[in-house]
Amino acid sequence: MNPSPPAAVLWDMDGTLVDTEPYWMAAETPLVEKFGGTWSHEQALRLVGLGLEDSARIFQDAGVRMGIGDIVDHLTDDVMSQLATKGVPFRPGARELLTSLRQSGIATGLVTMSLGRMARSVVDLIDFPAFDVIVAGDDATRPKPFPDPYLQACEALGVSPADAVAIEDSPNGIRSAVAAGAATIGVPLMVSVAGAGAHAVWPTLEGRTADDIAAFHRDHTSRLGASR
């Protein structure tokens, strides 16, 4: 017998659903250099999973003489331009798993710190109805690693966080989902997720289906029940 599925699966976007982190990094370096600064790969990695306004403050500290909103808009426009010309680079297995979830009737949400207009542009390029709700960086009351974005997504879907599974690639994202009470899978890409508190770490989504998500959620729920 197949395990009962969770009520919802909540996806991070950048680095989890799509591998846009190189697009962000390609936008960051010329912005800093425009103001006479330098930008390293290590500095770029610090921003993975960070809210855009917090990232903008780091750019200001690096010498970018622009307002926070202007920095966010500039980087978002640059990444959206790259998406339009280069396409949406899905992570291996992500599109297939999303398709499997939709075919199984499981609700799905996108929970991202990117701006809503960018999130919608990515979703619009998916050739099937992929998400029931989108919570973006400009929707969240507080950014990741606070639990707010995941709590907002669960509320919008009408599900309990305990009945949801989250998929994340960054420590900040994992901490956000865990703090919200969702069973959380880490699928690392640019940075290690060790010590972030994920309930499972999958090296890839390739070959994963809705049945794997349901089995993970069942095992997680069983472990929680045994520990009480």
Per the confidence metrics, is the pTM higher than 0.95? Answer: no
Q: Using alpha carbons, list the distances in angstroms from residue 222 to 3, 183, 216, 219.
A: 12, 12, 10, 5
Reading the block at residue 119, the tokens are 């999130």
Contacts of 152 (CB under 8 A, 6+ apart): 135, 139, 140, 141
| Model pLDDT, residue 67 | 97
| Model pLDDT, residue 228 | 59
Contacts of 212 (CB under 8 A, 6+ apart): none
Q: Render 10-60 in DSSP notation, one character per residue.
A: EE--BTTTB--HHHHHHHHHHHHHHTT----HHHHHTTTT--HHHHHHHHH
| Model pLDDT, residue 68 | 96
Closest listed residue to residue 94, CA positions, set 84, 104, 102:
102
Q: Are 164 and 10 in contact (CB under 8 A)?
A: yes
**For every one of its 228 residues, what pLDDT tens digit does the chain have, with 9 covering 90 and above?**
456 789 999 999 999 999 988 899 899 999 999 999 999 989 998 888 788 899 999 999 999 999 999 999 999 999 999 998 988 899 999 999 999 999 999 999 999 999 999 999 999 988 899 999 999 999 999 999 999 999 999 999 999 999 999 999 999 999 999 999 999 999 999 899 999 999 999 999 999 999 999 999 999 999 887 765
CA distance 148 to 77: 25
Write down all domains in the chain, each with its CATH number in brackets: 8-19+89-227 (3.40.50.1000), 21-86 (1.10.150.240)
| Model pLDDT, residue 1 | 43
| Model pLDDT, residue 51 | 82
Q: Where are the beta strands (DSSP E) in the chain?
A: 8-11, 107-111, 133-135, 164-168, 183-186, 200-201
| Model pLDDT, residue 3 | 62
Strand, coil or helix: 68: helix
